[in-house]
Amino acid sequence: MKASTQQWLDFAKADLLNCERILDDDFLTSIVAFHSQFIQIPGIRVISE
């Protein structure tokens, strides 16, 4: 696996972990939605490499 591919997967994992940690906080619901959308971007970049 390319180093850049691993880096994009790491970014996606960080976004997913962030979502899991703040999911139960009603004040941060919009932030969960934001990070959930951005999890897709590294996946698309990995596929395109």
Cβ–Cβ < 8 Å for 42, 12: yes
Question: pLDDT tens for residues 5-48?
Answer: 888 889 888 888 988 898 889 898 888 888 788 778 777 877 77
Domain map of the chain by residue range?
3-48
Residues 6+ apart with CB under 8 A from 29: none
Rounded to whole angstroms, the Cα distance separating 2 from 6 reads 6
Please count the other Cβ atoms lying within 10 Å of the Cβ belonging to residue 43.
13
| Whole-number pLDDT of residue 15 | 84
| Whole-number pLDDT of residue 37 | 80
